[in-house]
Amino acid sequence: MPAGFPSRFVSVDTARRSQGFHNLIGVIVDCMPKTRSAGSSFVATFTIKDTDFGPGNDSWKGLKIKYFNDDEHRLPDVKVNDVILLRRLRVRQFHGLLTGVVGNTDNVSWAIFRRLEGPGSLMPVCSPGSKALSVEEQAYANTLVESVIHFSSTASVTSSTRRKGHAKSSTPNEYRKQAIAKPKDKFSLIKDLSAHTFADLAVHVVKMFYLDERVHLYVTDYTVNKSLFDYGDQSDEENEGGDDDTFGFLTRPTREKRAWQGPRGRMTLQVTLWDPHSYYARENVTEDVYILLRNVHVKADKMNGLLEGVMHTDKMYPEQVDIRVLDEDHQDDPRIVELKTRKREYWKQNRMNKRKLAEDFGDGDDGNPKKNSKQRRKELQRQKKQQEQRKQQQQAKSLQREEGQTEIPSTMNKSTRPNPHIQAQDPARGCRKISEILPNESHIISLPDNVQYRLPFQCVKYRSTVRVVDYYPPNIADFSVPYLPDWSRAYSSDDEDEITSETPGVRWQWRFCLLVEDAQILPGQPRERIKLFVSGSDAEFLLKLDASE
């Protein structure tokens, strides 16, 4: 970072890792044309860095900024290699990623520094009504501009050497044509995938969601692999309680959006994307598009053994993006033609099967309409539950309770169904009860001389259906706490007890504890309970809210 860093300003790297209000100066390493947002505003999108911004920089490692305003002329008109100053920029979660966001009513002043052609000094362009720039701020901005000029002057030599030495350093368009037009030896169908291999896939995106800096894609090529998660009949998922809407809280469009839209059975592969692939996917990939994934690492999940895909950063070429959206220019590619053919055949067969079921289970002999497969399954499950409850009641009566022991009421009723608004991150992971997790034999290890030792903790992921019985702190308003990093203390004279959202560099984060037990406890069984400490991104995923004062 150049010398003379202004006071009250923080580095871009610090801002991209902490929520709150920040003063920043950085170099534009990536920008998009101004466009109209989904609402009434215009939006300017750009990325800034204050280090490693020369040729070949990793632009996705900078801070992405979205600037909204109803008046297009009030948006900063930026170009790559410009230096921009921003005051009181709010960094918050946006589509699962920490992003600088400026709303239409936010007062975020800016100044753009750009070297004019020919002799002359820097002439900053400032936003209307912004305060005058200090000497320290202008000096630091000038240093960044000079650094950009220095890197630009050596760019031609560097790029020429790189092209001669490495064929993979071709332009994005050339790489795109090579990746699409020339099938690779590693191209594979999902049905042929196996663990510990790398493969190229041409697939259809049926679902995607963001988590921190990762993007999770659910993709299919409509071929079956027995080592994938089984997405069964939709009615089965409803009976499990995942998308149950007993009280009608969800609107019809919400229920349809939450429902699984992909093919049933073992046809869908989950692929986790890391930078720079995740950055590209956030900007270009949507559900119901066709994409090409190159060099996907296929591995088996440690808990259930099911196949999943991962795309990490290429260590040799960290800028290389191995995901491409297949647009109309590539509809003649034989892999895409075959994929679309399999898709049409699958959904055609799916509709025929539904019609056949409707014909086979039409009117009954008594003139009343017969129950369809979904209704019959529900009826069988209801009868099975009633039989189990009667059996449990008989067993409970035969048990001799100790003196003073109260009977534990049965919890197997409709109210124990999971909250439909809370979804687990990994639906393919099997559920375990707390009563099975705590006494797990994996917690016990044998030391020399036959000494048994219980591990104080284990790094293991479990998926469980639980009920919250208590929480801490007792006041829900205290679930969010302020955090002042060490780098910010030098610029702030506020006491820790007086930290507010106005304190420079303050970061608010979730931090609370939940006491939970199994959602369903049979009569006579002990109530095993466990404390869950929830914080950071895990709490944001659970609450769907950013921490604030």
Tell me the DSSP string of 96-124: TEEEEEE-TT----EEEE-PPSSS-----
Nearest to 271 by CA among 294, 248, 252, 251: 294
DSSP-based three-state secondary structure for 522: coil
Q: For the segment 513-530, what is each residue's pLDDT rounded down to a tens digit?
A: 999 998 888 787 788 888
- Looking at residue 116, its pLDDT comes to 64
Given the candidates 3.30.1490.190, 2.40.50.140, 3.40.190.10, 3.40.50.12780, the CATH classification of the domain at 190-231+262-338 is 2.40.50.140
423, with CB counted inside 10 A (0-12, 13-18, 19+), is middle
Give the C-alpha separation, 223 to 339, whole Å: 9
Of all helices (H) and strands (E), which one includes residue 213? Answer: none
d(C-alpha 319, C-alpha 61), whole Å:
11
Q: Which of 119, 144, 189, 116 is nearest to 52 (CA)?
A: 144
Q: Is the pLDDT of residue 119 over 70?
A: no
Tokens of 128: 């209307």
φ, ψ for residue 14 (rounded to 5)?
-65, -45
Between CA 270 and CA 196 the distance in angstroms is 15
Domain ranges across the chain: 12-153, 190-231+262-338, 434-543
Cβ(428)–Cβ(304) under 8 Å? yes
pLDDT tens, residue by residue, 136-151: 888 888 888 888 877 7
Q: What average pLDDT does the segment 103-125 reach?
A: 75
DSSP codes joined into one string, 111-164: EEE-PPSSS-----EE-TTPPPPPHHHHHHHHHHHHHHHHHHHTHHHHHHHHHH
CA distance 530 to 515: 6
- Asked if residues 514 and 468 have their Cβ atoms less than 8 Å apart, the reply is yes
Specify the DSSP element, H or E, that contains 84. Answer: strand 83-94
CA atoms of 30 and 451, how far apart (whole Å): 60
SS3 146: helix
Residues 74-97: tens digit of each pLDDT: 888 888 888 999 999 999 888 778
Measured CA to CA, the distance from residue 21 to residue 106 in angstroms comes to: 12
Higher pLDDT, 508 or 228: 228
User: If DSSP codes are grouped into helix, strand and coil, which group holds residue 238?
Assistant: helix
Q: How far apart are CA 336 and CA 180, in angstroms?
A: 10
- CB within 8 Å of 454: residues ≥ 6 apart: 443, 444
pLDDT for residue 455 is more than 90: no
Taking 70 as the threshold, does the pLDDT of residue 415 lie above it?
no
Of residues 427 and 299, more confidence is placed in 299
Query: How many other β-carbons are positioned within 10 Å of the β-carbon of residue 217?
Result: 26
Q: What pLDDT score was predicted for residue 382?
A: 75
Residues 244, 281 contacting (CB under 8 angstroms): no
pLDDT exceeding 70 applies to what percent of the chain? 71
Looking from the CA of 404 toward its CB, the CA atoms found within 13 Å total: 0
Q: Tens digits of per-residue pLDDT, 213-234?
A: 789 999 999 999 999 998 875 4
Q: From the CB of residue 202, how many other CB atoms can be counted at a distance below 10 Å?
A: 24
Is the confidence at residue 165, as pLDDT, over 90? Answer: no
Q: Give residue 349's region: left, alpha or beta (phi > 0; psi -120 to 50).
A: alpha
Q: 15-29, 146-160, 313-327, 426-440 — which is least confidently predicted? A: 146-160
88 Ramachandran zone, left/alpha/beta (phi>0; psi -120 to 50):
left
| Least-confidence region, from 122-136, 245-259, 431-445 | 245-259
Cβ contacts of 204 within 8 Å, gap of 6 or more:
219, 220, 221, 222, 288, 289, 290, 339, 343
Residue 103 structure tokens: 């709303």
Q: Are 426 and 464 in contact (CB under 8 A)?
A: no
**Residue 276: is the preceding peptide bond cis (ω within 30°)?**
yes
Cβ atoms of 89 and 24 closer than 8 Å: yes
Does residue 185 sit in helix, strand or coil? coil
Q: Model confidence at 178, in pLDDT bands (50, 70, 90)? A: very low
Fold equal for 12-153 and 190-231+262-338: yes
User: Can you tell me the distance from the alpha carbon of 190 to that of 263, in angstroms, rounded to the nearest whole number?
Assistant: 13
CB atoms within 10 A of CB 212: 15
In this structure, what is the dihedral angle of CA atoms 5, 7, 13, 19, given to the nearest 10 degrees?
-170
Q: Which residues pair with 217 in a beta bridge?
A: 208, 271
C-beta neighbour count of 470 within 10 angstroms: 12
Q: Is 28 exposed, middle or buried (0-12, 13-18, 19+ CB in 10 A)?
A: buried
Structure tokens at 210: 């963001």
Contact assessment for residue 274 and residue 217, using Cβ atoms and an 8 Å cutoff: no
Q: How far apart are CA 256 and CA 265, in angstroms?
A: 19
Fold of 12-153: OB fold (Dihydrolipoamide Acetyltransferase, E2P) (2.40.50)
Contact 23, 100 (CB under 8 A): no
Strand, coil or helix: what is 63?
strand
SS3 call for 292: strand
Give one DSSP letter per residue of 358-407, joined into a string: HHHTSB-TTSSBPP-HHHHHHHHHHHHHHHHHHHHHHHHHHS-PPTTPPP
pLDDT band at 358 (very low <50, low <70, confident <90, very high): low
Our CA angle for 418, 420, 424, nearest 5°, is 75
